[in-house]
Amino acid sequence: QSVLTQPPSVSEAPRQRVTISCSGSSSNIGNNAVNWYQQLPGKAPKLLIYYDDLLPSGVSDRFSGSKSGTSASLAISGLQSEDEADYYCAAWDDSLNGYVFGTGTKVTVL
Amino acid sequence: QVQLQESGPGLVKPSETLSLTCTVSGGSISSYYWSWIRQPPGKGLEWIGYIYYSGSTNYNPSLKSRVTISVDTSKNQFSLKLSSVTAADTAVYYCAREVNGTPGVWGKGTTVTVSS
């Protein structure tokens, strides 16, 4: 039972834009950095966004992150078939004194 | 470029202790935070805990009573022990190194099944 809530799935056509939401609280998103991970089928997660909106070296700029209050979002523009994966948000939770992951969102390219 | 590799038994009996090791190559373990994260079949990610190279630790409160993470800087390894395992502990276990305050470099993962 994660404290960060994401939609189970989103789908969109190629070359379109999708947005994934991540809802939390003042003890996690509201007070700490949000990070996003992409997990391709059968693979380990890969860091996609850190500190709310920063891209690690080598990550496509089609990915972007944002945060407002106790919610965060990941946007994928110019959707490609290779973007089909599970996406997780994550943040430190001050109340739990631990790192929490979101429930995960499966992105399907139609 | 730093790489991480998990190793350990793929099958553990119920009530026994799960033991895994993460070997770090291409860089020194003597810096950064080092984490264990798991993923039950078909489910999401769960943070287990982390250790700083100096030995200080922080564990998931839901697992704290059963978890021990340790580091061996001479071998460039850190380890996970999870006691009194049940079928609910069946998962892919990942080790990871901190990058910019979050697990940023991950191993490929190792599958652990709890079954008699």
* Per-residue confidence (pLDDT) for residue A1, from 0 to 100: 62
Question: Which stretch of DSSP H or E encloses residue B110?
Answer: strand B110-114
- Residue B46 in tokens: 């769960």
Q: What is the arithmetic mean of pLDDT over B22-26?
A: 96
Chain A residues closer than 8 Å to B101 by CB:
33, 50-51
What's the residue count for chain B?
116
**Which of A33, A96, A103 lies closest to B44 in CB terms?**
A103
User: For residue B16, what pLDDT band results from cuts at 50, 70 and 90?
Assistant: very high
Chain A residues closer than 8 Å to B108 by CB:
43-44
pLDDT tops 70 at residue A52:
yes
Chain A residues closer than 8 Å to B58 by CB:
97-98
- Do B99 and A47 make contact, defined as CB atoms within 8 angstroms? yes
Question: Residue B94 in 3-state DSSP?
Answer: strand
Q: Is B51 exposed, middle or buried (0-12, 13-18, 19+ CB in 10 A)?
A: buried
Residue of chain A whose Cα is closest to the Cα of B107 = A44
Question: Which stretch of DSSP H or E encloses residue B36?
Answer: strand B33-39
Q: What is the arithmetic mean of pLDDT over B18-32?
A: 94
pLDDT tops 80 at residue A104:
yes
Chain A residues closer than 8 Å to B106 by CB:
44-46
CB count within 10 Å of CB B90 equals: 18
Question: Residue B87 in 3-state DSSP?
Answer: helix
* Per-residue confidence (pLDDT) for residue B30, from 0 to 100: 87
Separation of first and last alpha carbons in chain A: 29
pLDDT in tens, B34-87: 999 999 999 999 999 999 988 999 999 999 999 999 999 999 999 999 999 999
Which site among B102, B106, B110, B111 would you substitute to test the A interface, given the most A Cβ atoms closer than 10 Å to its Cβ? Answer: B102
Q: What is the arithmetic mean of pLDDT over B25-33?
A: 91
Task: Report the share of chain A in percent with pLDDT over 70.
Answer: 99
pLDDT in tens, B40-49: 999 999 999 9
- Do A98 and B46 make contact, defined as CB atoms within 8 angstroms? no
Q: Where in A69-104 does DSSP place strands (E)?
A: 71-76, 85-93, 98-101
Which site among A37, A99, A101, A103 would you substitute to test the B interface, given the most B Cβ atoms closer than 10 Å to its Cβ? Answer: A99
Question: Residue B88 in 3-state DSSP?
Answer: helix
